[in-house]
């Protein structure tokens, strides 16, 4: 994942990009005034052909462009793992015919970036905020990246279709209003749950949870293995299980597109320990149409999970108290409580079924 100093740099880069493009919004609207001198023959005659490598950014392009664009997203389902995606010949051909290609960057979709022709306009989320290969590439979960990409898309579409610049700018302003409302909700959430601890089977939603003010307690050894898409060492997996069973985290984030035996063990341990699990996919789910709506829904799911954890604390405190009393009584009678040391009944996390999910963690640091 991106370090705190690096994230600060990215926030500055995103802020500068947003400021520059905001100042340019008047120029975007003013393109209509230039078209007379340029001549009608220089104007885009139909919808701009936009191809996005993934549906997260494709949905944003559609939201900003509206009828001025025709958007095709290559990876557009949660049943596909974008990390291992192999494009078909037709996918490459689609990209090469595009007028605008929207990619994520940061090593996430190199197959798409390699296919962009010289005649196409390239818009990259990583370039927009200064991220690079090796950083956590799940940039759509970052408010900085969403803002930077929205302004990049607006300016590009305005340049290519000046006749539609007023409508494009209006759609951008509408999007900005929704995003601002979301970010206000996130700030209120951060004040309410400041530094609440969580762990993740994979770093998919790191930026979102950082924006929400939560504290990542995922064991470092496990996180490094997940980032390298490898299996964790037994000691690292055991440390993770103990972190959950001791209820030292308030929730577990689970990437549903990276399910494995390891992640099943962790989600199973969470279930037995009454630590809520929040499932998060990488690609945008089919039942949501905009990034903002998706982020709002995830915020509410995290809020509910934290509320559920808090509600279960009283029960677990009572169990712990009773367990200590049972142990004391057993000691006085010269017997041993067979359940001693397992106050939450977690036992061996390898036993029993569990909610499926994953355990990887993209190029992170």
- Residue spans of the domains in the chain: they are 4-31+43-185, 193-317
Report the pLDDT value the prediction gives residue 325, as an integer from 0 to 100.
Answer: 46
- Mean pLDDT value across residues 123-139: 96
DSSP 40: G
Q: Which of 17-21, 33-37, 103-107, 255-259 has the lowest mean pLDDT?
A: 33-37
Check pLDDT > 50 for residue 40. Answer: no
Report the pLDDT value the prediction gives residue 316, as an integer from 0 to 100.
Answer: 75
> Taking the alpha carbons of 231, 237, 243, 245 in that order, is the dihedral positive or negative?
positive
> How many alpha carbons lie under 13 Å from residue 279 in its C-beta half-sphere?
17
Contact 102, 55 (CB under 8 A): no
Report the pLDDT value the prediction gives residue 81, as an integer from 0 to 100.
Answer: 82
Q: Which two tokens stand for residue 142?
A: 């970052």
Report the pLDDT value the prediction gives residue 75, as an integer from 0 to 100.
Answer: 96
Which residue is associated with the tokens 């939201």?
A: 63
Question: What's the pLDDT band for 45 if we cut at 50, 70, 90?
Answer: confident
Helix (H/G/I), strand (E/B), else coil: 339:
coil
Check pLDDT > 80 for residue 277. Answer: yes
Contact 216, 209 (CB under 8 A): yes
Report the pLDDT value the prediction gives residue 5, as an integer from 0 to 100.
Answer: 41
> CATH code for 193-317?
3.40.50.1980
Q: Where are the alpha helices (DSSP H) in the chain?
A: 4-23, 25-38, 55-65, 89-96, 110-113, 125-129, 143-160, 165-192, 206-211, 220-227, 234-245, 261-272, 291-332
Closest CA to 226 of 326, 362, 127, 335: 362
Report the pLDDT value the prediction gives residue 286, as an integer from 0 to 100.
Answer: 92
> What is the signed CA dihedral for 284, 285, 291, 295, rounded to 10 degrees?
-110
Q: How far apart are CA 262 and CA 326, in angstroms?
A: 34
- Domain 4-31+43-185 CATH superfamily: Nitrogenase molybdenum iron protein domain (3.40.50.1980)
Report the pLDDT value the prediction gives residue 334, as an integer from 0 to 100.
Answer: 56
Q: List Cβ neighbours of 275 (8 Å cut-off, separation of 6 or more).
A: 244, 247, 249, 250, 251, 252, 269, 309
pTM listed for this prediction = 0.80
Residue 38, classified by CB atoms within 10 Å of its CB into exposed (0-12), middle (13-18) or buried (19+), is exposed
């Amino acid at each position: 994942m991106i370090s705190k100093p690096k994230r600060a740099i990215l926030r500055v880069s995103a802020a500068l990009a947003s400021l520059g493009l905001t100042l340019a919004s008047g120029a975007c609207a003013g393109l209509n005034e230039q078209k007379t001198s340029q001549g009608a023959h220089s104007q885009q005659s139909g919808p701009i052909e936009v191809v996005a490598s993934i549906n997260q950014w494709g949905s944003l392009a559609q939201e900003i462009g509206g009828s001025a664009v025709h958007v095709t997203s290559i990876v557009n389902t949660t049943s596909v793992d974008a990390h291992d995606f192999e494009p078909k010949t037709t996918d490459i051909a689609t990209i090469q015919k595009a007028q605008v290609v929207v990619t994520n960057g940061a090593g996430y979709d190199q197959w798409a970036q390699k296919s962009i022709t010289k005649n196409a306009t390239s818009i990259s989320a990583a370039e927009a905020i200064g991220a690079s290969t090796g950083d956590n590439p799940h940039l759509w979960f970052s408010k900085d990246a969403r803002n930077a990409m929205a302004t990049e898309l607006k300016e590009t579409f305005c340049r290519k279709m000046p006749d539609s610049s007023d409508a494009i700018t209006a759609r951008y302003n509408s999007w900005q209003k929704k995003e601002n409302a979301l970010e206000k909700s996130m700030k209120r959430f951060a004040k309410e749950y400041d530094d609440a601890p969580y762990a993740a089977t994979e770093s998919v939603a790191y930026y979102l949870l950082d924006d929400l003010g939560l504290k990542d307690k995922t064991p470092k050894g496990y996180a490094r293995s997940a980032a390298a898409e490898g299996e964790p060492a037994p000691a690292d997996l055991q440390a993770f299980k103990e972190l959950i069973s001791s209820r030292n985290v308030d929730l577990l984030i689970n990437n549903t597109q990276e399910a494995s035996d390891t992640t099943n063990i962790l989600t199973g341990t969470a279930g037995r320990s009454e630590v809520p699990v929040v499932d998060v996919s990488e690609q945008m789910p089919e039942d949501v149409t905009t990034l903002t709506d998706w982020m709002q829904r995830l915020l509410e799911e995290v809020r509910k999970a934290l509320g559920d954890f808090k509600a279960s604390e009283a029960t677990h405190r009572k169990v712990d108290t009773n367990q200590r009393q049972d142990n004391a009584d057993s000691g006085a009678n010269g017997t041993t409580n067979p359940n001693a040391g397992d106050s939450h009944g977690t036992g061996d996390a390898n036993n029993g079924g569990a909610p499926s999910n994953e355990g990887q963690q993209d190029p992170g640091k």
